[in-house]
Structure 1
Amino acid sequence: MQRKQTRVVNIGGVGIGGDNPVRVQSMCNTDTRDVAATVGQINQLAGAGCEIVRLAVPDEAAAAVLADIRGQSPVPLIADIHFDHRLALAALDAGFDGLRINPGNIGDEAKVDAVVRAAAAHNTPIRIGVNGGSLEKDLLRQYGGPTPEAMVESGLRHVRMLENRGFHDIKISLKTSSVLKTVAAYRLMSEQVDYPLHIGITEAGTLVRGAVKSAVGLGILLYEGIGDTMRVSLTHDPVAEIGVAYEILRSLGLRERGPEIISCPTCGRTEIGLIDLAEQVEAALRGVEEVFTVAVMGCVVNGPGEAKEADIGIAGGRDLGIIFRKGEVVRKVRGNANLLPEFMKEIDKFLEERRTD
């Protein structure tokens, strides 16, 4: 893989494009007007590894609390604005680190001028966000529907509106719920501009469906070197989006965060509740940032051998479990109820040894 070299954009101190890593971002699903709930979710996202968070700003009441939210956020924030240029100006005044707008739908030329001037004065980048479900009517007629070509032309229209005003601090996204259309659109846009691209499959679906569609679509683009920031859009808790995003990046060798957990798919030899155990281990390690490999296996006989490359692992049997490192047994544990707590003790010991080496 060789990533396309795009120009660098700075979002609140987080570099995007160029040689920077692919950044992981998400969006709060709280009511922005509820400051406590919104800040709480921002902190949860940041704790999971989210590097940039986007907030909906639907009205003046939401805009009025943006400064309070920004002052409490540990990560850069982007304001998502539709139609009302005054909300964009309020977000800039509140110190938000980026805007997500389409300049063509925020009002007349004077209003666009005002937003661009303010963004330039604050050194605040603008993301142009094209959605296949809301393209301009003339483009739908011209291209016969929301085709990749229509999406790219829509994006370039908005880009030109900014460029004509001397503004080039731009990021672009082109999203549909179709994996193939989204991939085709990003390929076309990547050939025409060197602005950083924010990639995602919009309205991807619930946890499993959305994760699969995102992994396929974003995996293709990332493998081709396209994409500077990414969001896995799920009909689920936004925190789950972060884990899926990092697993996509890990599988392509682009970024790693936290332990990689491998577990067998269960079979007729399994004599413990392996599914529950694997999920409990995953939950217990969710806040760990160190990179290492953990195995959760269902067979004491074959588990250590099958997962001998794991840094640390556990394999369960009938009333007996073993804990191993690199395939070598280090402990036996009696009683299935003791497996998880004893395993976590060994992981704590393992991490302490690594930190003091």
Structure 2
Amino acid sequence: MSLNHVRPWKNIYRRTSRQIMVGNVPVGGDAPIAVQTMTNTDTADVAATVAQVQAAAEAGADIVRVSAPDAAATTALREIVRESPVPIVADIHFHYKRAIEAAEAGAACLRINPGNIGDEKRVKEVIRAAKDHGCSIRIGVNAGSLERHLLEQYGEPCPDAMVASALEHIRILEDNDFREYKVSVKASDVFLTAAAYQALADATDCPLHLGVTEAGGLVSGTIKSAIGLGNLLWMGIGDTIRVSLSADPVEEVKVGYEILKSLGLRHRGVNIISCPSCARQGFDVIKTVEALEKRLEHVKTPMSLSIIGCVVNGPGEALMTDVGFTGGGAGAGMVYLAGKQSHKMTNDQMIDHIVEQVEKKAAEIEAAEAASAEAAE
């Protein structure tokens, strides 16, 4: 059994929301928090888009969104949906007919921005298409594209204006007997984003899609997203997340999982606990961790690994991880298994040995889970 378990003092009590389906992925309720990303290819290029979708899915994406700006994109969408291993969300801006075409092409969800899709009559036509083709809808409110009348009323993008926009469009959906929807209220400002989501969480029981929009590059965007999304998730708010980075969509998925793993909300793959290294290190910690991150990408089983350079914190961290290595002296260190000292290993053989131990532990965890599932049937 993995040592990567939730302790009582680490519990996060999630906001109670109703559940919807995005294709075969449940969102909200007691479902795991779904991780999303978005392709950045030309959607009309089916091969390139499908390749990016598949790469994101392999990294752990539960749902992938693709932009549908024109008829060429919605025509390509049919084949993309057919070849995708995960549900596809069609991102719609400006032209409501693209939403209808996307629904007809098999999109699992339609993401519409209320501020720029048109009047209520057009939104009703999109709702009808979603009903006819079994799509859910995401109401995507962005601080940068609020409706003109709300900007005039509130003077600038603010939490109240964003929530008002969301509630207006929730009313339209519900007046048309449509409840398979989730909502986002995104901004590039962390404070504005967090305040809007907190207010919306109090105003509705629908699932919430979290995101800090246009967060930035890989490093700056990761930090901004970790602060914004992390605080909301820690408060129990959020049913699905998308980390918006000016980077490869696979990186968005990885960061999303790291945020969830850091809060104990979802686990996938090896959680590496490592020190920043210092003059006490018994081996090159930084290069070792870089190598292990690459070598262990194929391991999807949730488990923990500690890589600590010296005996100051190494033994203590190893007590709480499935596999651990603590640097010693004379070119060797100590291997820990299930929190206990196991055997010494030389530094030059350590990386290969740790990979072997992690793979072995992952197989044991998977076998135990399979046996437990079989016994429960």
Q: CA 1:139–1:104 in 2, change beyond 3 Å: closer, same or farther?
A: closer
Match of 2:268 among 253, 257, 261: 257
Deviations along 1:190-227, one digit per CA (max 9) or x if unpaired, are 12112111111111122222222212211221222211
Please tell me whether the aligned partners of residues 77 and 96 of structure 1 are also in contact (alpha carbons under 8 angstroms).
yes
2:244 maps to 233
State the distance in 2 between where 1:142 and 1:279 align.
Answer: 52
Matched, 1:320 2:302: no
Instruction: Show CA shifts across 1:139-184 (max 9, x none).
Output: 2232121111111112222222323323222211000011111111
Change (3 A) 1:74 1:159: same
SS of match in other structure, 1:189: helix
Match of 2:77 among 53, 66, 70: 66
Is the Cα–Cα contact under 8 Å of residues 18 and 28 in structure 2 kept in the other structure?
Answer: yes
Q: 1:104: how far off? A: 5.2
Q: Return the alpha-carbon distance in structure 2 between the equivalents of residues 202 and 141 of structure 1.
A: 23
Deviations 1:38-93 (A, max 9, x none): 11111111112111111111211111111110011111110000111221111111
Q: Deviations over 1:257-292 (max 9, x none)?
A: 222110111111124321121121122222322122
Residue 133 of structure 1 deviates from its aligned partner by 1.1
1:355 is displaced (CA, Å) by: 4.0
Partner amino acid for 2:77?
L
Provide the C-alpha distance between the structure 1 equivalents of 2:313 and 2:162, rounded to a whole number of angstroms: 52
1:127–1:170 contact (8 Å) kept in structure 2: yes
2:131 alignment partner in structure 1: 120
Matches within 5 A, 1:1-357: 1-103=12-114, 105-299=116-310, 303-316=314-327, 319-334=331-346, 336=348, 338-357=349-368
Equivalent residues of 2:116, 2:145 under 8 A apart: no
Unaligned ranges ≥5, structure 1: none
- 8 A contact 1:313–1:323 mirrored in 2: yes
Are 1:106 and 1:112, in contact at CA under 8 Å, matched by a contact in 2? Answer: yes
For 2:138 and 2:122, the matched residues in 1 are separated by 17
Is 2:116–2:147's contact at 8 Å kept on the other side of the alignment? no
**Cα distance in structure 1, aligned partners of 2:61 and 2:282:** 38
CA positional deviation for 1:185: 0.5
Deviation larger for 123-132 or 286-295: 286-295
- Sort the Cα spacing of 1:185 and 1:52 in 2 relative to 1 into closer, same or farther, 3 A: same
Q: For 2:315 and 2:112, how far apart are their aligned partners in 1?
A: 53
CA contact (8 A) 2:114 2:140 kept: no
Provide the residue aligned with 2:7 in structure 1. none
What amino acid does structure 2 have at the position aligned with 1:66? L
Paired residue secondary structure (1:93): helix
Q: RMSD over aligned Cα, in angstroms?
A: 2.1
Question: Residues 22 and 148 from structure 1, CA distance in 2 versus in 1: closer, same or farther, beyond 3 angstroms?
Answer: same
- Which structure has more relative contact order (CA 8 Å, sep 6+)? It is 2
> 2: distance between equivalents of 1:153 and 1:100?
18
What SS does the corresponding residue of 2:292 show, helix, strand or coil?
Answer: helix
In the aligned structure 2, how far is the partner of 1:263 from the partner of 1:181? 33
SS in 1 for 2:277: coil
Amino acid at match of 1:42: V
Unpaired stretches in structure 2, ≥5 consecutive residues: 1-11, 369-377
Q: Give distance in 1, aligned partners of 2:364 and 2:24.
A: 33
Query: Which amino acid in the other structure matches residue 101 of structure 1?
Result: I
Give the partner amino acid of 2:66: L
TM-aligned CA deviation for residue 305 of structure 1: 4.5
2:318–2:340 CA contact under 8 A, matched in 1: no
Q: Which amino acid aligns with 1:319?
A: G
User: Quick check: 1:103–1:161 contact (8 Å CA) kept in 2?
Assistant: no
Mapped to 1, the partners of 2:365 and 2:186 lie a distance apart of 42
Deviates more, 1:145-154 or 1:219-228: 219-228
Kept after mapping to 1: 8 A contact 2:324/2:337? yes
Maintained 8 Å contact 2:143/2:162: yes
If the length of structure 1 is used for normalisation, what is the TM-score?
0.92
Deviation at 1:329, TM superposition (A): 4.3
